[in-house]
Amino acid sequence: GAVVSQHPSRVICKSGTSVKIECRSLDFQATTMFWYRQFPKQSLMLMATSNEGSKATYEQGVEKDKFLINHASLTLSTLTVTSAHPEDSSFYICSASPGPAGQYFGPGTRLTVT
Amino acid sequence: AQTVTQSQPEMSVQEAETVTLSCTYDTSENNYYLFWYKQPPSRQMILVIRQEAYKQQNATENRFSVNFQKAAKSFSLKISDSQLGDTAMYFCAFMSLNNAGNMLTFGGGTRLMVKP
């Protein structure tokens, strides 16, 4: 149980275009989902917390107009990187939480902006 | 705010041996959970073990066990009979039960290499 899927696993896009990443909890409902960014050999950096039916809460320094988050249902959250630039290239990971039992993570998306 | 510190950036262990990864945390709260997550080369984050702060008994999951010292704010992970598949980054994490959002605070990670 507690499986989280993330799609796509890899994406290459051109500078200036937008990319959408989907995160789904497959066998549980998640009132809260999280989006992280991870640089090589570093820990996870929380970008935003997404609650179903309400606006996402962004961490300091994360541009909310650039990283659009939508949490339309209890099993789906999306992250859209708008007007992507090479510096947005990174590994993005989502997680979903069924409660205080912890967070369950998706397999991640490697974004490369050329 | 909580902080989580993993003082060992890298460790190595021989296959079948035992290794202990350190984690300390700082919090003024009394109700919380602690976690160890594993991130193998695939980069999929996997929950290894969870400890509720109100429980005195240390959590165990097969070859993985923790030494939870609440007063010292220490939460180490012991891996027994290390296997090659244990090679990964290990992250210690804190979750406050007072935080309705179930947010995790991560340590910086320890890279563990299991040698044949």
Residue A107 distance to chain B (closest CA, Å):
5
Residue type, A13: C
Q: Which residue has the tokens 């507690």?
A: A2
Residue B2 distance to chain A (closest CA, Å):
14
Residues of chain B with pLDDT under 50: none
How confident is residue A97, by pLDDT bands cut at 50, 70 and 90? confident
Q: Which residues of B touch A2 (CB under 8 A)?
A: 47
The answer to whether the CB of A89 falls within 8 A of the CB of A111 is yes
- Nearest C-alpha neighbor of A111 from the set A46, A25, A21: A21
| Record: contact B111-A102, CB cut-off 8 A | no
Spatial separation of the C-alpha atoms in residues A60 and A62, rounded to whole Å? 6
Share of chain A above pLDDT 90, in %: 77
Q: Which residues of A touch B47 (CB under 8 A)?
A: 2, 102, 104
Spatial separation of the C-alpha atoms in residues B93 and A81, rounded to whole Å? 27
What is the per-residue pLDDT across A46-83, written as a single tens digit (0 to 9) for each?
999 998 888 899 999 999 999 999 988 889 999 999 99
Residue B116 distance to chain A (closest CA, Å):
23
Residues within 8 A of A (CB atoms), B 2-61 only = 33, 35, 37, 42-47, 50
Give the sign of the dihedral formed by CA A93, CA A5, CA B64, CA B13: negative
| Record: contact A107-B102, CB cut-off 8 A | no
- What is the greatest pairwise CA distance in chain B? 44
Nearest to A32 among B47, B102, B107 (CB): B102
| Record: contact A108-B102, CB cut-off 8 A | no
Residue B78, helix vs strand vs coil: strand
- Nearest C-alpha neighbor of B76 from the set B27, B25, B26: B25
pLDDT of residue A102: 81
- Give A100 or B87, the one with higher predicted confidence: B87
| Record: contact B108-A42, CB cut-off 8 A | yes
pLDDT of residue B100: 60
**Mean of per-residue pLDDT scores for chain A:** 93
